[in-house]
A = this chain, B = another copy of it.
Amino acid sequence: MFDTIAVVGATGAVGTIILELLETRRFPVTRIKFLASHRSAGKEIRFADSAYSVEELTPEAFDGVDLAVSSTPDDVAGEFIPEAVRRGCVVVDESGYWRMDPKVPLVIPEVNAESIRRHQGIISSPNCSTTQMVLAMKPLHEAGRIRRVVVSTYQATSGAGLPGSRDLENGTRAQLAGEDYQYEEFAYPIAFNCIPQIGSPKHKGYTSEEMKMVYETQKIFEDDSIQVCPTCVRVPVSNCHSESILVETEKKITVEEARELFAATPGIAVMDDVDNKVYPMPVNCDRRDEVFIGRIREDLSCPNGLAFWCVSDNLRKGAATNAVQIAEWLVENSQ
């Protein structure tokens, strides 16, 4: 049913990992094409021992395409995805553009794969900071019903795309050399600094990145009564987002119960032994597909609270891996 596949945004930070995952996870491909902006059209891409030429993203490029996995800026997704759907293509979209559309399922396969069945051509993959938190919340919510989440993020520069990664590396080199550097992506130096703003001001002093963590969480759990208070911060880390998370549940969950619940959840890996300095960090979660959890402890400030530390590769489970998993679910459930 999904004979012809397209990867949209194939030359971007997430697109290149989507390619890698389609190969390594042996995604069933009969025909494949790679689409990107005019600027990247004509570039050569190697996939499964063959060479492909990147084609320009146009409405007509979707003619005959059955399934697209797309990672582009929001405005591009807004313009081209309806053109793809009109041509009978099902699109798994990694951008932010369609996520809150009521007709579009917003999916983390380990959490709400069944909602994919309701799609009308588009399935959205959540924002990177949301995905790892919501997957971590899932077993706790099922066991104890989460009422409230307080989260502070430590987000890597790769979340701001290739320009963000360049800024961290070049800005750090310049600062160590005592030279000036003109930042391309960030409003302030990110080298040896923390910037407490990701995205634009959105709602009551919260930024767009922060409000994604509120709205997307409620949509995925289909429960607007889950209260989320987020603080999103960019830190000088190249890749992998970290999150300090506190959840309050209706029914108390002990540390031991939480550790068992996390360990039993597909997609989650527990690294939790502070006595032996074992906990997830960007350096030990890079290029891994799981959501890693450590520092699990009872909240000292609330009887039904549980605190933990959560790290995941924002380009993988936070983006490419989750989108490819949705595509895999579509293939498996379409025979």
- Interface set of A (CB-CB < 8 Å, partner B): 148-150, 152, 154, 168-169, 172-173, 176, 187-189, 192-197, 201, 204-207, 214, 227-231, 233, 235-238, 242, 244, 246, 255, 274-275, 277, 279-283, 294-302, 305, 307, 309, 311
Q: Which of B192, B229, B283 contacts A305 (CB 8 A)?
A: B229
* Chain B positions within 8 Å of A295 at CB level: 196-197, 205, 231
Given A201-B275, A214-B300, A237-B193, are A176 and B187 also a contact pair (CB < 8 Å)?
no
Main secondary structure of the interface of A (DSSP, over half): mixed
Q: Is B279 in contact with A197, judged by CB distance below 8 angstroms?
A: yes
Which of A149, A236, A246 gathers most chain B CB within 10 Å? A236
Q: Is A294 in contact with B196, judged by CB distance below 8 angstroms?
A: yes
Distance in angstroms from A8 CB to nearest chain B CB is 30
Query: How many copies, total?
Result: 2
Tell me the bound Cα distance from A207 to B298 in angstroms.
Answer: 13
Which of A152, A187, A305, A311 gathers most chain B CB within 10 Å? A152
* Chain B positions within 8 Å of A242 at CB level: 194, 196, 233
Q: Which of B195, B205, B228, B301 contacts A297 (CB 8 A)?
A: B205
Q: Which of B236, B277, B294, B300 contacts A228 (CB 8 A)?
A: B300
Distance in angstroms from A318 CB to nearest chain B CB is 16
* Chain B positions within 8 Å of A233 at CB level: 154, 242, 244, 309
Q: Is B282 in contact with A192, judged by CB distance below 8 angstroms?
A: yes
* Chain B positions within 8 Å of A150 at CB level: 150, 246, 301
Beyond A154-B154, A195-B281, A204-B300, 19 additional contacts (C-beta under 8 Å) are A148-B302, A150-B150, A172-B172, A172-B176, A192-B238, A194-B281, A196-B279, A196-B294, A196-B309, A205-B274, A205-B297, A205-B298, A206-B297, A228-B300, A229-B246, A229-B300, A229-B305, A229-B307, A233-B242
